[in-house]
Copies of this chain bind each other. A is one copy, B any other.
Amino acid sequence: MRKNMRLGVCYYPEHWEESLWEEDLLRMRDYGIDTIRIGEFAWSLFEPTEGVFDFSMFDRFLALTEKTGMQVIMGTPTATPPIWLTERYPEVLNATADGTLYRHGLRRHYNYNSKKYQELSTRIVTRMGEHFGHHPMVIGWQIDNEINCETPEFHSEADHAAFREYMKDKYETLENLNEKMGGNVWSQRYTEWDQVTLRRPTVNGHYNPHLLLEEKRFFSESAIWFCRMQCDILRPLIGDAFLTTNGIFDNLDYTRLMQGLDFLCYDSYPNFALAMDRSGQEDPLFLDRKWSKNLSVVRALCAPFGIMEQQGGANGWTGRMEAPMPRPGQLRLWTFQSIAHGADFISFFRWRTAPYGTEIYWHGLLDYDNYPGNRRMQELAEISRDMHKLPVEPGQYLARIAVLRNYDNEWDAALDKWHERVEKVSERGLFEAAQLLHEPMDYLYMNESVTPEQLKKYDLVIWPHATILEDRYVDVLRSYMETGGQVMFGARTGYKDAFGRCPMRPMGFGAAELAGIRIEDYTFIGPYDEPGMAEMDGTSIEMPVFNDVLLASEGTQVEARYSSNYYKGKPAIVSRTCGQGRIWYVGSAFSRKTAMCLLKKLGFGEPYQAYLTLPEECELAVRGNLCFVLNYGRNAAGITVHEEMQDVLLCKQVVGQQQIAPFDVRVYALPETGK
C-alpha cells in the first residue's frame, strides 16, 4: 500500500458523457478521494475490432486526472472479452460440464487455458502496459476483475486438455495416477492419458472425489497462471506502479496467487447478508458484522490490504439480489470495519449508480440523477474527515488466537458433505464466539511455508477439522507446542491423505497420537438422535453435528465425557501435555456455545477489559495501539472506558460511561499495547 492512497472510488468514464468527467473528478477531490480505478471492463473500447487499438477516450480522461491530481489504478480488461472475440474464437469460452458454452451477455464467460485467449489477452495487456504504463497518474494496476467470480469452474475443451497436462506433470505414470485416484474402485483405471478429463456429465451427477479434488487444484493453478502471465507482461512496462487484484472467490489458492502481486484488494459488501431472499431467521447480532470473518481471511492472506470495492449503496442485479439501502451510518461503519481488520486503502464502488446494464441496482454513492447532496455523499464527507484523523499506517491487527485453514481442507469440505457439515458449523461458531468474547482472532493458512516461529505469537491455535492432515503440518504444530503453544483439534481430524483417500491408519493421524487417544467410534448426530452433549467441569457443553467417541491413553486428561446417546460416559474432550504446551482434542464440531465454553475454560475472552467493557452488539478490534469499537446494533450501545484514553475521532480524552449511536464507531488510543 502507498501512503498517498487512502480513499478511492471506482469510475467508468465510458458510461458517462465526456462533459461530466472533469466535474466528477473535481467533486471527488472535494470529498478527499485521492485514487480511482478505471478501465477494467473496457476491452471493446480499447480494441474495438481485432487488432485495432484505440486508447483515445482514456487518454482524454487521463489528461483530466492529471489536471485534477487524481491517481489512477488501471484495470486489465480480460474479465470481459468483446463479442467480436468470442464469436470469432468460441474456443475461448468457458463451458458447463456437459459442454454448453457460456456465451456473450454477462461477464467472465472465458476460460484461462485457451491458447487464443492467452494470445489475445497478452496482446491487449501488453498494449495497455505500453500505452499507459508510464502515465504519471497511473500508480497501479488491477489484474483482471474478481478472478473466479460468477463461476470458479471451467469445462471447455481447452480446460480438459490443460487438465490432462496438469495430471501428466503431477503423476507422471498412469500406474501412479490410477493408484492415487483409486482406479480400482468401479473399474475406473485409465489406460491412456487421452482418457483423462475434467468432470463430465455422469449418472446422477456424482463423480470420483479424488479427481474432483485435483479439478479444484487445477482450476486454482489455471487462474494463478493467467494472473501471473499478466503480471509478467506488465512488470517491465509500468515502472514502480504496483500490481494487485480484487476479491476472494472459490477454487483459488490466494497464498499462491499473491506471489506475483504487490498486495491484495478485497471487495466488501456487508449487505449481502441482508439480501431479501433471506429468511429473516439470521441472528441479528451477525448480519453485516459477519463480514468481519471475510476480512479476517483477507488479512490472513495479506496484511495490510486494500478494499477495491467498498459497498457504496444498496446492492442488486435486475434478476436477483435485492437488498435494502444501507441505513444512515452503515457506509461509515463498514468502512471502519475494513480498516479495523487491516485495510489501509478504501475505495468505494462506485461513484454514480450505473445507468444501464445488469447492475443498475448495484448502487453507487450518487444516484442516477447525480444529485449532489444525497445521504450517502454526506456520509462520504464524514468518512473522509475521519480517515484523516487516523494514522496512515495504523499498525498490525493484534490477536492471541489463530484458527488454521488450508486450501486442501477447504476444497475437500466443498466436495464432501460429511466434511462440509462440521466445517460450516465450526467456521461460524468459532468466529461468533470470538466476537462475543471480544477476543480478536486471526486466520492462518497452513501450507508448506508456515514455520513454528510464525505460530508463536498466538497463545492458542485451533484447527477445527483438518480432515486432510499431513504429517509435515503435525510436525510444525508439535514444535510450536513443545515451546509452550496450545493446539486444539475438532472431530474428523486426520483420516484422509492429500488425495482425499482414507489410508489404513488409525483416525486422527498424528494428532491422535499426540493427544494419546484412539477414535473408537464416530457418528453423525441424526435427526432422531438426542442432541450431542458432554459434561465438562460439572456443566453441560454442546457437542454438535458429529461425535468422535474417544478412548484415552494414560497421561491423557479427560476434560469432558459425553452425556447423551449410546456413547454416554465415553471421553468427549481430552487434553495432554506436549512439551511445554498442550494439545486438545474435541470430539465434535464447534457451535458458538461450544466454542465460548472452551475459550473461557482456556482463559480467553475480554483481553482489553482493563480498558473497556463492551456489550455483545459491539465488535472490538485492535491495530497497534488503536482500539476500534464498532456498534452493529440498531440501538445505542453503552460502553465503559475504565482508564482515560484519547477518543481519536471525537478528538478528546474520555473516561467512564460512553454511548455509541447505532452504526457508530469509536477509535481509542490505548495507553499501551493491550493484552
Contacts and interface: CB of A to CB of B under 8 A. Distances in A.
B276 A369 contact: no
A431 B119 CA distance: 59
- State the copy count for this chain: 3
A8 interface: no
A199 B274 CA distance: 30
A653 interface: no
A14 to B, nearest CB: 4
Interface string A495-513: 1000111111111000000
A80 B187 contact: yes
A310 B194 CA distance: 39
Given A87-B194, A195-B87, A323-B526, A357 B208 contact: yes
A317 B369 contact: no
A190 B44 CA distance: 9
A418 B322 contact: yes
A356 B418 contact: no
A583 to B, nearest CB: 20
Interface residues of A, number: 123
Given A521-B374, A528-B284, A186 B80 contact: yes
A103 interface: yes
Contacts of A505: 368-369
Interface in A170-188: 181-188
Given A318-B416, A323-B524, A190 B83 contact: yes
A550 interface: no
Given A192-B84, A507-B368, A526-B276, A105 B356 contact: no
A204 interface: yes
A210 B84 CA distance: 20
A358 interface: yes
A101 to B, nearest CB: 7
Contacts of A372: none
A202 B360 contact: no
A15 B184 contact: yes
Interface stretch (A324-332, A473-481, A598-606): A324-332
Given A202-B105, A417-B319, A421-B322, A526 B189 contact: no
A216 to B, nearest CB: 13
Contact of A415 (B183, B206, B319, B522): B319
A325 B202 contact: no
25 contacts: A15-B184, A43-B187, A44-B184, A45-B189, A49-B191, A83-B195, A84-B191, A87-B194, A102-B203, A103-B197, A104-B195, A106-B186, A106-B206, A106-B207, A182-B357, A207-B358, A209-B318, A314-B523, A324-B525, A325-B522, A354-B502, A355-B502, A356-B499, A368-B502, A368-B504
Given A44-B184, A44-B189, A210-B356, 9 more contacts: A15-B185, A82-B191, A83-B189, A104-B195, A108-B203, A321-B417, A355-B504, A356-B499, A356-B501
Q: Please name the 6 residue pairs, one residue from A and one from B, whose CB atoms are nearest each other, closest first.
A: A182-B356, A185-B357, A280-B527, A80-B187, A325-B523, A103-B200
